[in-house]
Amino acid sequence: MAGVAAADARELRVCADPDGLPYSNRAGEGFENRIAALVANDLGETLTYYWLPQWRGYARKTLGQRHCDVIPGIAHDDETVLATDPYYRGTYALVYAPARFPDLDSLDDPRLRSLRIGIQVIGIDATPSPPAQALARRGLVDNIVGYPVMGEVPSAKRIVDALAAGHLDVGVVWSPQPGYFIAARRLPFAVVPIRREAGDPRFDFAISMGVRHDDVALQRAVNASLAHLRPAIDDVLREYAVTRADAPPAKAAR
């Protein structure tokens, strides 16, 4: 399934960031660690990791060099990998205290013009994210504070901490990330998906696992596990306070 060597060893070799919470870390504390463990168990394989910070060229440096066979949490339309079926859909979201700014869900809200807004800055070349593009189109530039994604502390945590300290009024964050840090501090913040207005870029993206382009057998095996494990995966995402663009099934009453 995952190449002769991996199949003989009965290993699911996962590529992961060693310090990338809420997704993953070496201690296995991230939600992608948990989901990878579910998949490995379902496949009857031993979960092993190849650790590498998830920066530019990640698929080439991991899958491409055959250090590992699966990258969890990758965009479904990422052409550097063969993607599995999606297992959730993330979106960019506004993070704020609802007591201060009730019903804030649009970048067209006039309140934003007088607020300090923290946004995530992608990559060493500061590639603008979709909400950064949307804010710039509205002329909301002077009150923006950038938080580089690359750094010793996750950018989502830095934004949540800045909100808690009163240095920011609103954060604009990729939605799977802030809930974990908000819950850890029991902060009175909401994570609200940004409502897309006319002319805005897409804010939501399907999230899959990625394998090598020639590893169709592994893709099919993981797809079967993801389908079988959907309720358990939904439970993990709820536990980690992952805000989703897709509506997860409601928990059954017990």
**Residue 4 pLDDT > 70, yes or no?**
no
pLDDT digit string, tens, across residues 31-81: 999 999 999 999 999 999 999 998 889 999 999 999 999 999 999 999 999
Q: Are strands 144-148 and 117-121 parallel, antiparallel or unpaired?
A: parallel
Q: CB pairs under 8 A, 24+ apart, for 224-232?
A: 225/38, 225/39, 225/42, 225/43, 226/39, 226/84, 226/85, 226/87, 227/85, 228/42, 229/35, 229/38, 229/39, 229/42, 230/87, 232/38
Q: What are phi and psi of 7, to 5 degrees?
A: -65, -45
Gap between the Cα atoms of 229 and 237, Å rounded: 12
Q: Please report the beta strands in the chain, taking only residues with DSSP state E, as ranges in sequence order.
A: 11-16, 19-20, 24-25, 46-51, 71-75, 82-83, 88-96, 117-121, 144-148, 170-174, 190-193, 204-211
Q: Is 199 exposed, middle or buried (0-12, 13-18, 19+ CB in 10 A)?
A: exposed
pLDDT-based confidence at residue 192 (cuts at 50, 70, 90): very high
Proportion of the chain above pLDDT 90, given as a percent: 85
pLDDT of residue 6: 43
pLDDT at 9 over 90: no
Supply the pTM of this predicted model. 0.90
pLDDT of residue 244: 96
For β-strands 204-211 and 88-96, DSSP reports them as: antiparallel
List, in sequence order, every residue forming a beta bridge with 206; answer none if it has no partner: 89
Could you report how far apart the first and last alpha carbons of the chain are, in Å? 38
pLDDT digit string, tens, across residues 153-188: 899 999 999 999 999 999 999 999 999 999 999 999
